[in-house]
Structure 1
């Protein structure tokens, strides 16, 4: 949902800036469609590349830390078992029980690695994030949001007003959906997203108008 909002706000602001760059905001619809689709493609690919790099780096770091942990388990199993005992005790487990659990887990190298990875590194070796999945998800989410401001022009609109109305409705709806994972009421999150996104578009329109006037 945050990727959708990112695409919606950034592309709406881009179109608003382009519209503000000409007198009276009467830029040709073809120009705005081109700008909107270019913004959609550029933003979506940028999001995908950034997310892929970020998640891939996290996964590579986790694998490097797991390799170190695996080597330490092979070279100093007693030390690692003692560390596991301390970790369980710190979590409130009785000392005797913590020693027994650590002893049993340490009998199996794979189980011991999983236990140390979860307790020390906070990762699950069998559930590392997928860079490709993250990239594709980010790409599709951004495209979904960025397409909203362009749709009115693709359907024949000749002024920026339909895009303003559709984008405003999209931002409010996206904000209300976010309320499902927060303690705020739907009208609050919807209004907040509408105001912030609208402010971004208005400021970009102003920049476009100022630059357009200067170039003219």
Structure 2
């Protein structure tokens, strides 16, 4: 079967992209629907760290915000692990690590850049 697929270059590339990367080459049915789903996902993800600040103040709000965000990142990684059929725990830790490093770099740049211009 592999020999037959590799004879047709387009079919071979399509199969590699689908099987190795998990990316479908099929056109989506509705770009507007896809955009709405992506927008809703961004709003939901952004709400997790913001909601505690509506109900709490000071260090408590920051602690709940950070904790909720870390828990959300880990849960997202668990879901990713189930979807791609890999270890949910490792995928959860991977997403948690990437998010934590990204937040640390963002915080460090936010502290450093204003100091360069004052």
Task: Give the alignment's TM-score, normalised by structure 1.
Answer: 0.39
Cα distance in 2 for partners of 1:164, 1:141 equals 19
Cα distance in 2 for partners of 1:128, 1:214 equals 46
Pairwise CA distance, 1:157: 3.0
Flag the structure with more relative contact order, 1 or 2, with Cα contacts below 8 A and sequence separation at least 6: 1
Q: Which of these residues, 77, 94, 102, is aligned with residue 175 of structure 1?
A: 77
Q: Which of these residues, 45, 48, 67, is aligned with residue 148 of structure 1?
A: 48
Q: Rg: which structure is higher?
A: 1
Per-residue deviation, residues 63-102 of structure 1 (Å, max 9, x unmatched): xxxxxxxxxxxxxxxxxxxxxxxxxxx78xxxxxxxxxxx
SS of 2:42's equivalent in the other structure is: helix
Pairwise CA distance, 1:146: 0.9
Per-residue deviation, residues 180-215 of structure 1 (Å, max 9, x unmatched): 122321110100000000000000000011123335
Task: Give the alignment's TM-score, normalised by structure 2.
Answer: 0.69
Please list every run of 5 or more consecutive structure 1 residues that lacks an aligned counterpart in the other structure: 1-89, 92-121
Q: Which of these residues, 134, 140, 143, is aligned with residue 34 of structure 2?
A: 134
Cα distance in 2 for partners of 1:128, 1:183 equals 23
Pairwise CA distance, 1:134: 1.1
Q: Give RMSD over aligned pairs.
A: 2.3
Residue matched to 2:63? 161
Please list every run of 5 or more consecutive structure 2 residues that lacks an aligned counterpart in the other structure: 6-24
| Superposed counterparts of 1:57-96, under 5 Å | none
In structure 2, relative to structure 1, the CA distance for the partners of 1:128 and 1:202 (3 Å cut) is closer
- The aligned length equals 94
In structure 2, relative to structure 1, the CA distance for the partners of 1:128 and 1:171 (3 Å cut) is closer
1:208 aligns with 2:110: yes
